[in-house]
Amino acid sequence: MALDYQKLMNWPLPEIRQALTPKDTMLYALGLGLGADPLDPKQLRFVYEESLLALPTMAVVLAPLGFWMKDPEVGVDWKKLLHGEQGFTLHKPIPAEGEIIGRSRIVEIVDKGAGKGALAFIERTITDAVTGETIATLTSTSFLRGDGGFGGPTGPAPAPHKLPERAPDKTCDLATLPQQALIYRLSGDYNPLHADPDVATHAGFKAPILHGLCTLGLAGHAILKTVCDYDPTRMTSLKLRFSSPVYPGETIRTEMWIDGKDVSFRARVVERDIVVLDNGLVTLR
């Protein structure tokens, strides 16, 4: 059955309210591996309640919609869905605690053609429930591999950020733990693909894979450490493409090109020498 363009464009996405606690903030940072050196005072600020700070990349887990495309009424072949791109812009630092509201909308669905899939562009705005101030705007692209050829618009789709052709200016290696996905999923993404070996095998993987947004967070950590001296107020935006999965326990090497306030980046798994995040761009304050 072909995807119903008008139905999906008008699908009612619920407003999500979240009571953000210091525990949520610390758990997210632990899910990215911060605190691996418990004597590092700069990392400790993100995992200890005294003068607690939120990581900029925590924007991606705030007030999440959950896996709403799994609803059969949506009409998407959700088993073939991939998270293609992710970005966020911070309008103010993320609070370590407070009440927030997430409001989402489907911006567009682009038909790449029969057998070629479709792209769904989604925007989420995070606001402070008390002041009404906008904290962050998030953009994501879902690749609907099984839903092309429904007769919808064929473009335009934004071009990816082009990385410089010179050698990286900086690199940072961060190891992941074998249990990294089991910790990270407690920040809200309970997809069994990241925990259940049987589900992972059925999906064609040798073991449960790391969440793409966890890999994003690891690259964000590497940039925060290498370029920002762990000052979360310096990172104002981030965008990237997901290119390959990561297995928990692997080492992520983030390669950075620094041009003023722009930091281009990609990330690769050291053990397999494969790029897992590509076309990345961070904007600094």
In a domain, 162, yes or no: no
Q: How high is the pLDDT of residue 130?
A: 96
Q: How high is the pLDDT of residue 2?
A: 83
In a domain, 163, yes or no: no
> What sign has the CA pseudo-torsion 171, 172, 175, 176?
negative
In a domain, 165, yes or no: no
- Domains held by the chain: number: 2
Residues 12 and 112 in one domain: yes
Q: How high is the pLDDT of residue 187?
A: 95
Q: List the catalytic residue out of 100, 122, 209, 258.
A: 209
The answer on pLDDT for 14 being more than 90 is yes
Residues 13 and 116 in one domain: yes
Burial 11-50 (b: 16+ CB within 10 A, else e): beeeebebebeeebbbbbbbbbbbbeeeeeeebbbbbbee
Name which residue leads in pLDDT, 44 or 155.
44
Contact between 26 and 38 under an 8 Å Cβ cutoff? The reply is: no
What is the rounded CA–CA span in Å between residue 153 and residue 109?
A: 7
What is the rounded CA–CA span in Å between residue 20 and residue 97?
A: 5
Residues 135 and 192 in one domain: no
pTM of the model: 0.95
Percentage helix, strand, coil for the chain under 3-state DSSP, each rounded to 5? 25, 35, 45
Question: Largest alpha-carbon pair distance within the chain?
Answer: 57
What is the rounded average pLDDT of the residues 151-157? 90
Catalytic site includes residue 198:
no
Residues 42 and 106 in one domain: yes
Q: How high is the pLDDT of residue 203?
A: 83
Q: How high is the pLDDT of residue 129?
A: 97
**Span between the terminal Cα atoms of the chain, in Å:** 47
Q: How high is the pLDDT of residue 53?
A: 98
Residues 49 and 110 in one domain: yes
pLDDT band at 157 (very low <50, low <70, confident <90, very high): confident
Q: List the catalytic residue out of 24, 111, 147, 189.
A: 189
Q: pLDDT by residue (tens digit) across 166-219?
A: 999 999 999 999 999 999 999 999 989 999 999 899 888 999 999 999 999 999
In a domain, 209, yes or no: yes
The answer on pLDDT for 40 being more than 80 is yes
The answer on pLDDT for 31 being more than 90 is yes
What is the rounded average pLDDT of the residues 152-162? 92
In a domain, 215, yes or no: yes
The answer on pLDDT for 70 being more than 90 is no
Which DSSP helix (H) or strand (E) runs through 282?
A: strand 274-284
The answer on pLDDT for 1 being more than 80 is no
In a domain, 160, yes or no: no
Q: List the catalytic residue out of 84, 212, 217, 280.
A: 212
Rounded alpha-carbon distances, angstroms, from residue 242 to 38, 39, 47 = 30, 33, 27
Q: How high is the pLDDT of residue 155?
A: 87
Shortest CA distance to 3 belongs to which of 111, 86, 87, 96? 111
pLDDT band at 66 (very low <50, low <70, confident <90, very high): confident
Q: Are strands 235-242 and 81-90 parallel, antiparallel or unpaired?
A: antiparallel
Give every strand in the sheet of 134-144, ordered side by side.
Answer: 16-20, 98-111, 118-128, 134-144, 81-90, 235-242, 274-284, 262-269, 251-259, 170-175
In a domain, 175, yes or no: yes
Residues 33 and 121 in one domain: yes
Residues 128 and 180 in one domain: no
* CATH number of the domain bearing residue 28: 3.10.129.10
Q: How high is the pLDDT of residue 215?
A: 98
Residues 9 and 140 in one domain: yes
Q: pLDDT by residue (tens digit) across 99-151?
A: 999 999 999 999 999 999 999 999 999 999 999 999 999 999 999 999 999 99
Structure-token match 């600020």, residue found? 45
What is the rounded CA–CA span in Å between residue 47 and residue 200?
A: 30
Residues 130 and 206 in one domain: no
Residues 13 and 55 in one domain: yes
- Is the preceding omega at residue 156 within 30 degrees of 0, hence cis? yes
Residues 185 and 139 in one domain: no
Residues 81 and 192 in one domain: no
- Structural domain of 175: 170-284
Catalytic site includes residue 183:
no
Contact between 252 and 176 under an 8 Å Cβ cutoff? The reply is: yes
In a domain, 158, yes or no: no
- Across the chain, mean pLDDT equals 96
Q: List the catalytic residue out of 117, 135, 194, 280.
A: 194
86, burial (CB in 10 Å: exposed 0-12, middle 13-18, buried 19+): buried
